[in-house]
Amino acid sequence: MINNLFNQLIITITPFLPRWIVWKIAGRYVAGETGAKALAVVRQLNDKGYSATVDILGEHTNSKSEAAEITREYMNIYDEISKQKLDCNISIKPSHIGQDISNEILQTNLDKLLLKAEETNNFLRIDMENSTITDNTISLYKNCRRKYKHVGTVFQAYLYRTQADLEQLSQNGSFNFRLCKGIYKEPAAIAIQRRRKINNNFLKLLRFAFEKGIYVGIATHDLGLLKSAYTLISELNVSTDKFEFQVLYGVPMSGWLEKHLKNNFKVRVYIPFGVDWHAYSIRRLKENPNIAGYILKDLFRR
């Protein structure tokens, strides 16, 4: 009871704490402010047997020059991944590279990234944001995939439409997507609201992917879902080259990452970095206030 009250207090006060304290808490979730620091973390994870994907923190860019600069930074990261021979790809948010400015600017920046991904023999993941741009993101993905096959996107289990979206895409053969629950606040008319029902739909979509031979990144920290995913993999005798498990950098997984590796399952760690770490960290801490609680208690003791 006391711990729960303390955690609720942490959720309330964390956004108002000095940035240096938030960084003390959030450093476990963010790989620093620069690409060099993020790739150093990638190297450490690769050495332990994990794959990685990197993401520059930020979204809803409204400046053409800023969107172009973010695109250049991603291109430089592709070059460094290739140069350092890292097991790592890139995840981008459409709104970060021009979605809110114009479709022309967005597509121009995406084309640059696709060309660099092809040049460095790498993969590009187009992240899914809120439901207002789901149609546009799917259209964007289809257009990109016609130009370069090593590109994937993301689908959210809490949206009612996701089953139909997967069925439609699967008509043109196999593809690559990340399956997650979804983090945006969406209305009940279009999104499942209850955790149990979201989990049930997650497993329904995962079964669909397995049965259709679609490559899926199983992105969840829900231990119950992981157990159910293991059951599905065993039941359907799914080949290990048809899926991977994906987790956010720094989120405690109670030994499951090591368990995945022992089963020869690929594990990819999503590594965010960048100067816009503060807002991201606040979201992560609200999801897991225990982490903030432990560190704040330690600071107060000191």
Catalytic residue check, 283: no
Strand partners, 54: 90, 271
DSSP string, the chain: -HHHHHHHHHHHHGGGS-HHHHHHHHTTT---SSHHHHHHHHHHHHHTT-EEEEEE-------HHHHHHHHHHHHHHHHHHHHHT-SEEEEE-GGGTTTTT-HHHHHHHHHHHHHHHHHTT--EEE----GGGHHHHHHHHHHHHHH-SSEEEEEETTBTTHHHHHHHHHTT---EEEEE---S---TTTB--SHHHHHHHHHHHHHHHHHHT-EEEEE---HHHHHHHHHHHHHHT--GGGEEEEEETT---TTHHHHHHHTT--EEEEEEESTTHHHHHHHHHHH-HHHHHHHHHHHHH-
Amino acid at 115: L
Catalytic residue check, 207: no
Q: Are 123 and 150 in contact (CB under 8 A)?
A: yes
**Is the Cα dihedral 235, 239, 242, 247 positive or negative?**
positive
- Given 125, 178, 268, 284, which residue is catalytic? 178
Enzyme catalytic residues:
127, 178
